[in-house]
Each structure stands twice: as C-alpha cells, then as structure tokens.
Amino acid sequence: METSMENRVICNCKQVTYHQIEDALYKAPRLEDAVAAFDEVQKQTHCSTGCGKCHDKILDIIADLMYRR
Ligand code: FES
C-alpha cells in the first residue's frame, strides 16, 4: 500500500502525521515566524515532546507550509 505524504508519521514518539501538523498550523492564528508556529503546533499535537529527534524535521515542514501560503 502506498503511503502518501499526508499520512506519513513525522513524529514517531507521539505518532503525529504530516497531515496533523498541517492541520494544526492552519488552525493557528497567523504567526510571525516558524518558531512561534512550531510552539502552537506542538501545543495542539504534542509533537516533538518525546525524544525530540523530529524537531528539525517538523520545523522544516512548518517553514515550508508557511512560506507557501
Ligand atoms: S520522534 Fe518526535 S519526539 Fe521523538
């Protein structure tokens, strides 16, 4: 079975998918920078609250989504 980008688990510890990150970001108020957005996404999804290895990956995804808007 093909796994689409949307359903890819980005944070293994908390089982947070790309789609959940995207969703949390769109629900968040407009934020100035990716770091502020990261905090907001983290609050909603609890991503990157385990081992923290996914931190940079998530920040990259957020930055990417923000500047594509
Ligand atoms: S993979 Fe995200 S906190 Fe460990």
pTM, to two decimals: 0.89
Determine the Cα–Cα distance for residues 43 and 31; give it in Å rounded to an integer: 14
pLDDT at 29: 80
Of all protein residues, the one whose alpha carbon is nearest to atom 4 of ligand 1 is: 51
Domains in the chain, CATH or no CATH each? 5-68 (1.10.10.1100)
Q: pLDDT confidence of 6, banded at 50, 70, 90?
A: confident
Q: pLDDT confidence of 69, banded at 50, 70, 90?
A: low
Average predicted confidence (pLDDT) for the chain: 91
- Looking at the CA of residue 50, tell me the nearest atom of ligand 1: 3
Determine the Cα–Cα distance for residues 65 and 69; give it in Å rounded to an integer: 6
Q: Which mutation among 13, 17, 60 tests ligand 1's pocket best, with the greatest number of atoms within 8 A of CB?
A: 13
